[in-house]
Each structure stands twice: as structure tokens, then as C-alpha cells.
């Protein structure tokens, strides 16, 4: 069976605390795009190929200033909102939704409009190295199907959700409960009938404010019936929290609203979680529910600063999200940098503010890489398939080229420094090739 051999430096996360750099590494991928063998410190590639039975394989040799990293995993983004990314950053969440989000998303009733827009969105995210993304679409069944078709054609690994909302939304952009549930069932079956190992339907109540109790109960039943994940928003903004709690007065707090509707489990993940009590975090840990940390959005919509370390220390799964268009950038490198600044801000608040914890540790570069790759895979329940370079996992990878693009190498940098330069100075211009399941789906190189 033909295989493809990649030879050079490999960089990936073993755990939150451990980043591995493999020098002179050999990574072998089979026809199905799965990693079948990894070797370290192979000084003589020709001899290795001759003795291992891979001399007839297709060989890719990385340059001295190039390396492979796992593909980025974006755990939270809104596909239709890329239409106005970078707009409305002067507003807070609820006003921003009324002013920009709902009018924009309502236009996706047109499948033709959806097709043109979604093609640009998926192409842009792939160019930025997002090999896996968890998408919110809109309430429109036809447009949601079109998004799935485009994702399948372009080759991204994706979770895709038809948005649900039957209350507290404009007359021009709202569903009735029964049609919302029926369309969600149809959408789930449409995706599953494709039998794609890359695309997964995800139950997607927009957030509790726009979802009635009958709708949320029905969605939890659908998630259990079809064994699919659940995504929504949680504790993003103080006004949102107050409004939610006023609607669901029988629930102890915002997190309990979802728990009371059976929407928190090991297949669930919540975006933002900026303003959480210890009891709410404990509940997420007990339910094995993950979070999508969207630092750019939290800054841009002035929602607040999420202390990721609190969640990690309690064993909650954490990944990163761009939250386009609450976050203005489709780049996971931007998500890494925004997360870095959020973590540094929390450190300052601990040092100089009321918390007075001088030993607080902000996130390190290796931890940031983990959150953007393996951490995100864990949030989506995909840690057995993607997130790092292990045998039998899919080859979802970025071929990073530091000699061409936005990074200047001055000479003498260690490998750790080169990785940090990529994380903090790199861009899509440094991505020579982008692979999903062994297939090249994007990249700056024409070769």
C-alpha cells in the first residue's frame, strides 16, 4: 500500500505541560491519511527507507527552517458572521446581536447567498491553518446543508450546528419550537447520511435567552437519540447572565439552566465562560463539559477576561476559539495571542488587584500550543483522532516555513525560540502546506 513519508522536525503537545520537539523525525502516512509510524533521530533517511520497506513511498523532506505541527482546532466560530468581521467592536454583546448579528444571519435564508459566503469563509479558515472547526450556522435548514456541502468539498474537519432560537429574537429571525426541532432532526440525519469521517452534526441552541424550555428539552433529547455533541454560549457577559437568570428563575444559576435542561454532559462544550462561580466550574468538571475560550471576542465586545487557569486546575477541558465575528480575526494564531494577553492580564489582576496572588502563573507558549491543538481536540471529543502526532491518528498538520512569510530569523535561534516566533509573529504566509486526513487542502506553496 502506497505511503507518504515526511522527514524533518516535528513539534507537538504530549500534554498541557509537555511539548515534544522531534529532530530528524520520520512520520509515515498511509493512503487513508492516518499516521502509521513515527520515528525519532533518523540521521540516514535513505538507509531507513531501504530497511523499513518504504523506499517506494512519496518522500517530503522539510527544510532546515521548517517543521510540522498539528493542525489548529477552532472550538467556536460563527460561519455567517465572517460577513461583518471587524465591525461593531464598539458595542457590547446584546446590542451587538441586535445591530449586526441578527440582520446578517437572516440573509442566509437564501441558499445562493449562503453558498457564496460560506465558500469564502471555509477557504479563509483553511488558509489560516484551521484544520478542524466547530461552526455555528444559522436557523435556516437549506443554508446549513449548503455549509456542510462546502465543507465536504473543501476538506475541512468540522462540527456543524444548525442554530436554534424560538424566543427573544426579532420577528424576521426566529423559529417556532416544533419547526426548530424538526429541522434540527432533518439536519442531523442529512449530515450523518453522508457517512463522512470529517463532518459531525452538533446540537446548537444559540443560548438560553433565545431558547424556551420545550426547545432546550427537545434538543437534549435529539442529542441523546443521535449521540451527537452539544454547543452553546455560557456566562459571556453580565447583562446576558442577568437576563438569563430572570427568564429561568427556578434554576440556581446560568450554568444550572443548561444542566436543568440536560444539556451538560461529556459531549457538550460551552463558549466563553468568562464570569463563572466556583460552583459553576465544579459543575462543568463533574459533567465533563468543555469550554471554548475566545479571548479576542471577550476583549472586543468588552465582556471580560476569562481566567483559563481556574478551569484547567479543576480538570475542565479547554480549547481556543476565534468566535468570528465577536472576535475579529479568523486566525487561530490570533486566538493564541489573545489568550496570551488575557492570561497576562489575569496575572496583573492577581498581582496588583484584589486577588493578591503573586504566585499566579500565566499560560506559557507550550501551553498555548496545546490549547490550540490537543486541548481543542479534547473539548470536541476528538483526542483519539487528532491533536498531535501519534500512531493511528489522522494526519491533520501544518507545514510551517519560517524562511518565507512574516518572520525574520536573525540567526542562532533555538528551536523553542523558532516555535515562539511562529506563535507570536507568524501568519498564514508561513504555512507552506495545510493537511486534513492526509489531503492537502490549503497552503502558500504551489508545489
Q: Up-side HSE of residue 61: CA atoms within 13 Å toward CB?
A: 8
Q: How many CA atoms lie within 13 A of 138 on its CB side?
A: 30
Does residue 187 register a pLDDT over 70?
A: yes
How many CA atoms lie less than 13 Å away from 320 in the CB half-sphere?
32
Confidence of residue 53 (pLDDT cuts 50, 70, 90): confident
Q: What mean pLDDT is predicted for residues 1-8?
A: 91
Largest Cα–Cα distance in the chain? 70
Hey, is 107 helix, strand or coil? helix
The interaxial angle of helices 332-352 and 365-372, nearest 10 deg, is: 130
Has residue 354 got a pLDDT over 70?
Answer: no
Q: Report how far residue 344's alpha carbon sits from residue 321's, in angstroms, rounded to the nearest whole number.
A: 18
In this structure, of 86-100, 146-160, 417-431, the range with the lowest mean pLDDT score is 86-100
pLDDT tens for 129-171 read: 999 999 999 999 999 999 999 999 999 999 999 999 999 999 9
Residue 361, classed as helix, strand or coil, is coil
Which whole number is the average pLDDT over 239-253? 98
What is the predicted pLDDT for the residue at 406? 85
- Cβ neighbours for 226, distance < 8 A, ≥ 6 positions apart: 188, 189, 192, 201
**pLDDT digits 0-9 by tens, 73-86:** 999 999 999 999 99
Integer-rounded Cα radius of gyration of the chain:
22
DSSP assignment string, 246-291: HH-TTSSSHHHHHHHTT--STTEEEEE--S--HHHHHHHHHHT-EE
Q: What is the pLDDT of residue 350?
A: 83
Taken in order 98, 101, 220, 376, the sign of the CA dihedral is negative
The set of long-range contacts for 171-174, using a CB threshold of 8 Å and a minimum separation of 24, is 172/102, 172/106, 173/102, 173/103, 173/105, 173/106, 173/139, 174/139
CB atoms within 10 A of CB 406: 14
Least Cα distance to 217 among 173, 172, 184, 168 occurs for: 184
Helices 332-352 + 415-425 axis angle, to 10:
100
Confidence at residue 196, expressed as pLDDT on a 0 to 100 scale: 97
Backbone angles phi, psi at 433, to 5 degrees: -140, 145
Q: Pick the residue with more confidence: 7 or 359?
A: 7
- The rounded distance, in Å, linking the Cα atoms of 36 and 33 is 9
Q: If you average pLDDT over residues 340-356, what whole number do you get? A: 85
- How many residues can be counted in the chain? 447
- Whether 101 has a pLDDT exceeding 80, the answer reads yes
* Long-range contacts of residues 36-42, Cβ cutoff 8 Å, at least 24 apart: 36/3, 36/391, 36/392, 37/391, 38/10, 38/389, 38/390, 38/391, 42/7
* Distance of alpha carbon 147 from alpha carbon 108, whole angstroms: 11
Across 80-92, b (16+ Cβ under 10 Å) vs e yields: bbbbbbeebbebe
Rounded distance between C-alpha atoms, residue 345 and residue 305, angstroms: 8
pLDDT at 445 over 80: no
The pLDDT, as a whole number, for residue 2 is 85
User: Is pLDDT at 357 greater than 90 in this prediction?
Assistant: no
Do residues 156 and 130 lie in contact, with contact meaning Cβ atoms separated by under 8 Å? yes
- The overall pTM is greater than 0.95: yes
**Is the bond leading into 325 cis (omega within 30 degrees of zero)?**
yes
Q: What is the pLDDT of residues 6-35, one digit of tens each?
A: 999 999 999 999 999 999 999 999 999 999
Averaged pLDDT score across all residues of the chain = 96
For residue 38, the surrounding DSSP H or E stretch is: strand 35-39
**pLDDT value of position 145:** 98
CA pair distance 436, 156, nearest whole angstrom: 7
Amino acid at each position: 500500500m502506497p505511503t507518504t513519508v515526511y522527514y524533518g522536525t516535528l513539534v507537538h503537545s504530549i500534554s498541557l505541560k509537555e511539548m515534544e520537539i522531534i529532530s530528524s523525525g520520520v512520520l509515515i502516512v498511509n493512503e487513508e491519511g492516518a499516521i502509521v509510524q513515527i520515528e525519532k533521530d533518523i540521521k540516514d533517511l535513505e538507509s531507513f527507507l531501504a530497511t523499513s520497506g518504504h523506499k517506494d513511498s512519496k518522500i517530503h523532506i522539510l527544510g532546515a527552517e521548517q517543521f510540522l505541527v498539528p493542525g489548529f482546532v477552532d472550538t467556536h466560530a460563527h460561519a455567517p458572521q465572517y460577513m461583518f468581521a471587524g465591525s461593531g467592536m464598539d458595542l457590547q454583546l446584546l446590542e451587538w446581536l441586535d445591530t449586526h448579528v441578527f440582520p446578517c444571519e437572516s440573509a442566509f435564508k437564501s441558499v445562493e447567498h449562503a453558498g457564496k459566503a460560506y465558500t469564502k469563509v471555509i477557504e479563509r479558515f483553511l488558509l489560516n491553518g484551521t484544520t478542524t472547526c466547530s461552526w455555528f450556522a444559522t436557523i435556516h435548514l437549506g443554508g446549513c446543508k449548503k455549509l456542510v456541502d462546502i465543507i465536504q468539498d473543501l476538506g475541512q474537519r468540522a462540527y456543524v450546528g444548525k442554530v436554534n432560537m424560538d424566543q427573544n429574537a426579532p420577528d424576521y429571525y426566529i423559529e417556532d419550537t416544533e419547526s426548530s426541532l424538526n429541522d434540527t432532526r432533518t439536519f442531523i440525519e442529512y449530515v450523518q447520511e453522508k457517512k463522512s469521517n470529517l463532518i459531525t452534526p452538533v446540537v446548537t441552541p444559540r443560548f438560553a435567552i433565545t431558547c424556551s424550555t420545550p426547545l432546550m428539552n427537545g434538543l437534549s433529547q435529539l442529542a441523546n437519540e443521535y449521540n451527537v455533541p452539544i454547543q452553546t454560549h455560557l456566562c459571556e457577559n453580565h447583562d446576558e447572565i442577568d437576563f438569563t437568570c430572570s427568564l429561568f428563575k427556578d434554576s440556581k444559576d446560568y450554568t444550572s439552566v443548561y444542566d436543568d435542561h440536560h444539556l451538560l454532559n461529556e459531549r457538550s462544550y460551552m463558549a466563553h465562560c468568562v464570569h463563572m462561580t466556583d460552583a459553576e466550574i465544579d459543575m462543568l468538571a463533574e459533567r465533563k463539559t468543555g469550554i471554548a475560550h475566545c479571548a479576542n471576542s471577550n476583549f472586543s465586545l468588552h465582556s471580560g477576561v476569562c481566567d483559563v487557569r481556574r478551569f484547567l486546575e479543576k480538570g475542565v477541558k479547554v480549547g481556543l476559539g476565534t468566535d468570528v465575528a465577536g472576535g475579529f480575526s479568523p486566525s487561530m494564531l490570533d486566538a493564541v495571542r489573545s489568550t496570551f494577553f488575557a492570561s497576562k492580564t489575569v496575572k496583573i489582576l492577581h498581582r496588583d488587584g484584589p486577588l493578591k496572588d503573586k504566585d499566579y502563573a500565566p499560560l506559557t507558549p507550550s501551553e498555548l500550543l496545546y490549547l490550540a491543538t490537543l486541548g481543542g481536540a479534547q473539548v470536541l471529543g476528538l483526542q483519539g483522532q487528532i491533536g498531535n502526532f501519534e500512531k493511528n491518528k489522522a494526519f491533520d498538520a501544518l507545514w510551517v516555513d519560517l524562511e518565507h512569510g512574516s518572520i525574520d530569523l536573525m540567526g542562532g535561534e533555538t528551536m523553542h525560540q523558532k516555535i515562539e516566533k511562529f506563535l507570536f509573529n507568524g501568519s498564514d504566509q508561513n504555512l507552506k502546506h495545510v493537511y486534513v486526513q492526509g489531503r492537502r487542502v490549503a497552503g502558500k506553496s504551489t508545489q
